[in-house]
Structure 1
């Protein structure tokens, strides 16, 4: 599992992993339940940006993460535009962007081991219902780390394409798909090696 954690002394770095993960889940749930209106999407993005700037690693990291996500957000926007129209596409893409930025922020300010331990503790009561806390927490951490990693892979593919003088969207999409599938295979092998089927 790729670690995105960056040491720091921000308020989010000092916040324990459990409350941070719970807060993230609540905020993302609230963002996903917001009405499909541009005001709600702007508010979601503003919350994500303010969290980076005032509680997290700062404006430079916010710009870097947003820049790294641009291709994923473009793909989300294009798909939404085809099926939903311009305004719903813009608002839904903004909500997805806010959720991804917040997920990335959690991973940037929390060690994966701390997050896994907190999630395992939080999921212990569900053991009676047949939930394996270790597997569930590993799955959750994997999801949290995969989206930012895909954003970084998209950036690397685009930079390699630019260095070779290529600019085609179709070539980028094909290359990115191959790289993403390769990452998925490696992730699957790593999980299988840890006994996760």
Structure 2
């Protein structure tokens, strides 16, 4: 499985996966409960900056994660501006940005195998509802890795276009990107099937 994990010695790296996941989830829930105001947008931004301002993570990584999510944030901002106005649009877009950044922080500081095992243990009670915790955990882990994988594929296509002297044509970008994305999805499906996931 493609992973965002970057080895390091930050407080986030040293924190065990279970408590780290619970803490980040609490932070995201706290951010979601804040009102849609300018000051709340400032508080949310501050919380995100503090979470990333540690060794082996840093502001450059935060910028990279937000750049990866730029299309999601752009669509969120545009839709909110049309229907709710500037203050609500800013607060809600910052809320989405912080949630994406903190989800990425979890993946950046936790090896994929540990993350998968922790999610599987957390979902163990779902067995009472006849839901396979292993499959649910794997689905969630794959979902967490989807955005960075697609961003990497998009970057590779752009670099290949530049190497061939191509322009920034959307038409020439879309087809190879779609082919690579479908190829990745097919390979991921084969890998899951080989591990008995149907």
Structure 2 contact 73–93 (Cα < 8 Å) conserved: yes
Kindly state the Cα deviation for residue 109 of structure 1 after the two structures are TM-superposed. 0.6
List per-residue Cα deviations over 1:154-197 (Å, max 9, x = no partner).
Answer: 44455556665534667767775665455444433433333323
Q: Tell me, which stretches of 5 or more residues in structure 2 are unaligned?
A: none
Asked if the contact 2:69/2:147 (under 8 Å) is kept, the reply is: no
Matched, 1:69 2:69: yes
- Deviates further, 38-47 or 166-175: 166-175
Return 98-107 or 125-134, whichever deviates more: 125-134
Q: How far off is 1:100 after superposition?
A: 0.9
Q: What residue number does 1:59 align with?
A: 59
1:125 aligns with: 125
Structure 1 stretch displaced more, 73-82 or 175-184? 175-184
- What is the RMSD computed on CA atoms of the aligned residues? 2.9
Specify the alignment match of 1:166 in structure 2.
167
Supply the distance in 2 between the matched residues of 1:188 and 1:15 (Cα, whole angstroms). 32
> Judging changes above 3 Å, is the alpha-carbon distance between structure 1 residues 29 and 113 closer, same or farther for their aligned structure 2 residues?
same
* 1:27 equivalent in alignment to 2:27: yes
Q: In the alignment, what sits opposite 1:105?
A: 105
| Counterparts of 2:160 and 2:148, CA distance in 1 | 18
User: Higher Cα Rg: structure 1 or 2?
Assistant: 2
Per-residue Cα deviation, 1:71-106 (whole angstroms, up to 9, x for no partner)? 332233234434444433332221111111111111
